[in-house]
A = this chain, B = another copy of it.
Amino acid sequence: MTHLPYGGIATFARAPIVHPAAEWRADVAALGVPFDIALGFRPGARFAPRALREASLRSVPPFTGLDGVTRLAGVTFADAGDVVLPSLEPELARQRITEAARLVRERCRLPVFLGGDHSVTYPILRAYADVPELHVVQLDAHLDFTDTRNDTRYSNSSPFRRACEEMENLVHITTIGLRGLRFDPEAVAAARARGHALIPMTDVAGDLTRVLERLPRGKNVYLSVDVDSFDPSVIPGTSSPEPDGLTYAQGMAILAETARHNTVVGLDVVELAPSLDPTGRSELLMARLIMETLCEAGLDGDRHA
Contacts and interface: CB of A to CB of B under 8 A. Distances in A.
A234 to B, nearest CB: 6
B155 A87 contact: yes
B82 A185 contact: no
B89 A152 contact: yes
A198 interface: yes
A150 B285 CA distance: 23
Interface string A131-170: 0000000000000000001111011000000000000000
Give the one of A39, A149, A151, A185 with max B CB within 10 A. A151
Contact of A181 (B59, B82, B85): B59
Contact of A63 (B5, B151, B181, B292): B181
Given A40-B4, A88-B152, A88-B154, A185 B53 contact: no
Contacts of A278: 276, 278-279
Contact of A243 (B8, B63, B85, B285): B285
A240 interface: yes
Contact of A6 (B4, B50, B58): B50
Contacts of A234: 232-233, 243
Interface stretch (A30-38, A211-219, A262-270): A30-38
A9 B8 contact: no
A272 to B, nearest CB: 13
A41 B59 CA distance: 12
Contacts of A39: 87
A235 to B, nearest CB: 9
Contacts of A247: 244
A210 interface: no
Interface residues on A, range: 35 or more
B11 A9 contact: yes
B243 A87 contact: no
A298 interface: no
Contact of A240 (B44, B58, B183, B295): B58
Contacts of A83: 7
Interface string A220-259: 0000000000011110110011011001110000000000
Given A81-B9, A237-B279, A40 B3 contact: yes
Interface stretch (A21-29, A64-72, A105-113): A64-72
A36 B43 contact: yes
Interface string A263-303: 00000000000011111110011001001100100000000
